[in-house]
Structure 1
């Protein structure tokens, strides 16, 4: 299935919030008007583990939901930037940690009914604190280093509320053999 875009009108054109109103035609001829799309750049996040197996998390206020959330570190990938390099950069900027290796876990779409972007998911290992944070002007990030057992308890208790980050954690758990799954 595919829709033809008959017209597009940009409502907002900002680095972090570009929104458009599309007029589309489905394959069966039905016109869908309006259809709103928020365009965002690709983002990346990682379950980040230190050399001694601790988990590097970030705590920050999220204004749209008016809540402080514990999350995996990550952010937007710069235009033309390799996803893994962007992830490496984001980890260093947000946490001050450098990581020895990155395993790609996959990509997810947060809300493909409205948002145009994907988030690339990684497992970063061998982390060592090598620098101070280098935050954007609007970021206030508190780095939290916790044990894997504490992370598992937080996940089980529903305390990791950022869905993309929870997906990353669960896929990393599967990769590390900490979460059993079957194919039926």
Structure 2
């Protein structure tokens, strides 16, 4: 395997927009072969988390919500942003509690993935939490509209194989979990 990282040299950077939920910059870069790309766009985001949460009874805790980009409503894992200074596990526990009212259980790191290694700076830290239980109601932000659903292994498998989980950062850890646990 090749060990050369082939890293590009950043010659100049300019921020085009800096907002809480969107930071974009234009880089002028030199590739290892000497070619200069005057306009390479990068989106900067904080790290994200998601959680495959399974109750003591063995049901998958899924959320259903509208996603405006695709103008589509579907099932998803609990997910959110790592707040500044927060460890990814802390963020995942907080998001699960806020969005679903569930907590507790045994937590393990499942995988770390990227939405787009080409143009995005952040990672998504995926966790599996087993034995979670409801401890309160939801604690949603005013811009969140999330319904919580308990689904069986068969129901989640049908969502996966039926291409009903469209968010790649949620499909990937679910596929991995189902493969590792021989649930396909």
- With the shorter chain as reference, the TM-score category is over 0.9
Distance 2:183 2:109 in 1: 17
The answer on 1:122 being equivalent to 2:127 is yes
Task: Give the aligned CA root-mean-square deviation in angstroms.
Answer: 1.1
The answer on 1:173 being equivalent to 2:178 is yes
The runs of at least 4 consecutive aligned structure 1 residues that moved more than 6 Å come to none
Query: Which residues in structure 2 correspond to 1:13-162 (within 5 Å)?
Result: 13-162=18-167
Contact 1:69 1:162 in 2 (8 A): no
Distance 2:151 2:74 in 1: 15
TM-score computed with the length of structure 2 as normaliser = 0.93
Give how far 1:157 is off: 0.9
TM-score computed with the length of structure 1 as normaliser = 0.93
Give how far 1:149 is off: 1.0
Gaps of 5+ in 2: 1-5
Contact 1:122 1:172 in 2 (8 A): no
SS at match of 1:65: coil
Gaps of 5+ in 1: 180-184
Distance 1:80 1:172 in 2: 29
Distance 1:15 1:126 in 2: 34
How many residues are treated as equivalent by the alignment? 179
Give how far 1:62 is off: 0.7
